[in-house]
Amino acid sequence: MAWDFETEPDFQEKLDWIDSFVKHKVEPLVHLGFHPADVKNPKHRAIVKPLQEEVKAKGLWACHLGPELGGKGYGQVKLGLMNEILGRSAFAPTVFGCQAPDTGNAEIIAHYGTGDQKAKYLEPLLNNEIVSAFSMTEPQGGSDPLLFTCSAVEDGDEWVINGEKWFSTNARWSEFLIVMAVTDPDGDPYRRMSMFIVPTKTPGVEIVRDVAVYGQQEGSEGYVRYTDVRVPKDHLLGERGGAFVISQTRLGGGRIHHAMRTVGACKRALDLMCRRAASRRTRDGVIADKQAVQMQIADSYMELEQFRLYVLKTAWMIDKYKDYKKVRKDIAAIKALMPKVYRDIAGRALHIHGSLGVSPEMPFAAQVIGSFVMGIADGPTEVHKVTVARQHMREYRNISDPIFPDYSIPQLKEAALETYGDIADTVRELAETAGAD
Ligand SMILES: Cc1cc2nc3c(=O)[nH]c(=O)nc-3n(C[C@H](O)[C@H](O)[C@H](O)COP(=O)(O)OP(=O)(O)OC[C@H]3O[C@@H](n4cnc5c(N)ncnc54)[C@H](O)[C@@H]3O)c2cc1C
């Protein structure tokens, strides 16, 4: 029976190396004033490239990929254990070659791209020589692709794209955008859109502005306008009408990777919370001795352990079934749980640090905003809860109980008597006989 919570010693050695490397060499990068996606920045090249080489030499580069694409094919459980460490730093995924949104974009080009598309875009993307953006959400469409209007129309040997996209992460640094556009407005709702690879320099691609997530120094979320943007026919990614299926392939993996990194971010918040609780003194001792503070530490520890185990179990299921569809309910469930667990733990860490906690001198306010991002990006929590409920209800689809169902106590009692009534009668008779003697 395989039901094991231990890490193999060989892999634990790798995790120990990652832990120390991230702590000493990667965590400092966020203080140097350049963005992880700004790969053409000379500082990025001078500082990040050598670190990436170290990771490659250790055989830990792009571990989310299978061996056919230069990864190790570790699978999701090992990746989960790695991502828990990488989640501590915004730079770590870039240093280890597994940064969003490039991971998802590489995944779909690898899956659906032609030989030419792979040669031109996949190789440099996997090497982090370039970065990419995923341009799906629209200002008016939000999380519902059926409301999207950005269109692509055939014209001779080209597609002509018109429309607007919102929050296309890293658009400003991207070499290309993967754009989801309506190609068959009157078609089946789930076949009306297609995906295109659009080089960012194509005439007509305009970044209206770079929106920042609150607290960010540089806006990384592109508000992008496409005006008569012409791309050759071979820039269609996958088949015409295939955008919905392609985006699902992409988002399944992305969501669990976010959850794995969130475990890391929560661990860091809890660690800092405990350090402060052990250090901050009141007139009668440290605050860790106060029951009210202990409650917050205990709640954080318990919530994190539950969440972590659920993320790892879901990762294990992906490895087992090798089919995201079979794990849809649990991926949606961890996506829905993630913002609350993160918000509660980061919020308590902030609170335990008092005034210092709310200042930008501590990471907690950014983490609390980050927790809200986790509840919005890749679809709002409500939508994922609906998925969990619908998937779960599938098991009950054929049930239609009467008003007094067979689990009501009177019926259960009757059934129990039917099963054990004879024995009960016999025992009573024996007891009466014994009493008569
Ligand atoms: C940091 C960040 C990065 C992102 N990166 C990208 C990216 O790279 N590419 C990209 O295409 N998009 C990206 N997005 C956009 C993201 O996919 C959308 O923000 C998300 O789908 C929600 O759309 P919206 O922001 O328009 O919110 P809305 O759709 O307006 O939703 C707002 C609120 O309405 C409620 N709501 C909406 N729909 C429902 C529903 N069906 N049931 C119940 N309640 C509902 C929820 O409370 C929800 O939070 C990113 C978002 C963030 C925050």
The answer as to whether 110 is a domain residue is no
Structure tokens at 77: 């459980």
Domain-terminating residue out of 78, 99, 120? 99
Q: What angle do CA 150, 153, 156 make, to 5 degrees?
A: 155
Residues 50 and 179 in one domain: no
The pLDDT tens digits for 68-94 are 777 788 889 999 999 999 999 999 999
Q: In Å, how far are 338, 416, 420, 437 from 429, measured between CA atoms?
A: 60, 19, 14, 13
Structure tokens at 353: 């640090």
> What separation in Å is there between the alpha carbon of 380 and the centre of ligand 1?
6
In short, whether 223's Cβ falls inside 6 Å of ligand 1 is no
> What separation in Å is there between the alpha carbon of 236 and the centre of ligand 1?
25
For a mutational test of ligand 1's pocket, the pick from 167, 180, 210, 383, i.e. the residue with the most ligand atoms closer than 8 A to its C-beta, is: 167
Residues 349 and 416 in one domain: no
Tell the burial category of 274 from Cβ atoms under 10 Å away from its Cβ (0-12, 13-18, 19+): middle
Residues 18 and 151 in one domain: no
Q: What is the CATH number of the domain that holds 329?
A: 1.20.140.10
- Return d(Cα 437, Cα 432) in angstroms, integer: 9
Q: Is residue 251's pLDDT more than 80?
A: no
> What separation in Å is there between the alpha carbon of 176 and the centre of ligand 1?
22
- Phi and psi at 397, nearest 5°, equal -55, -40
Residues 272 and 415 in one domain: no
Structure tokens at 262: 């969130």
Q: Tell me what pLDDT residue 428 has.
A: 79
Q: Tell me what pLDDT residue 172 has.
A: 98
Sequential DSSP letters for 247-263: HHHHHHHHHHHHHHHHH
Give the global pTM: 0.93
Question: Quick check: helix, strand or coil at residue 181?
Answer: strand
The pLDDT tens digits for 193-210 are 999 999 999 999 999 999
Closest-lying ligand 1 atom to the alpha carbon of residue 101: 8
- Please give the tally of structural domains in the chain: 4
In short, whether 373's Cβ falls inside 6 Å of ligand 1 is yes
The answer as to whether 2 is a domain residue is no
Q: Is residue 437's pLDDT more than 60?
A: no
In short, whether 101's Cβ falls inside 6 Å of ligand 1 is yes
Residues 255 and 348 in one domain: yes
Residues 288 and 417 in one domain: no
> What separation in Å is there between the alpha carbon of 10 and the centre of ligand 1?
41
Residues 264 and 218 in one domain: no
Structure tokens at 244: 């919905």
Residues 271 and 387 in one domain: yes
* Residue 38 and residue 171 in contact, taking contact as beta carbons nearer than 8 Å: no
Q: What is the mean pLDDT of the chain?
A: 94
Residues 387 and 249 in one domain: yes
In short, whether 221's Cβ falls inside 6 Å of ligand 1 is yes
In short, whether 222's Cβ falls inside 6 Å of ligand 1 is no
* Residue 346 and residue 273 in contact, taking contact as beta carbons nearer than 8 Å: no
Q: Please give the average per-residue pLDDT across 50-71, as a whole number.
A: 89
Highest-scoring range by mean pLDDT, 243-257, 319-333, 360-374: 360-374
Atom 7, ligand 1: which residue's CA is nearest? 168
Domain-terminating residue out of 237, 267, 302? 237
Structure tokens at 375: 């509840």
The answer as to whether 343 is a domain residue is yes
In short, whether 134's Cβ falls inside 6 Å of ligand 1 is yes
Domain-terminating residue out of 237, 265, 296? 237
Q: With bands split at pLDDT 50, 70 and 90, how would you rate the model's confidence at 255? A: confident
Question: Quick check: helix, strand or coil at residue 179?
Answer: strand
In short, whether 103's Cβ falls inside 6 Å of ligand 1 is no
In short, whether 168's Cβ falls inside 6 Å of ligand 1 is yes
Q: Is residue 325's pLDDT more than 90?
A: no
Residues 252 and 326 in one domain: yes
What's the domain range around 71? Answer: 9-99
The answer as to whether 273 is a domain residue is yes
> What separation in Å is there between the alpha carbon of 144 and the centre of ligand 1?
8
Residues 276 and 313 in one domain: yes
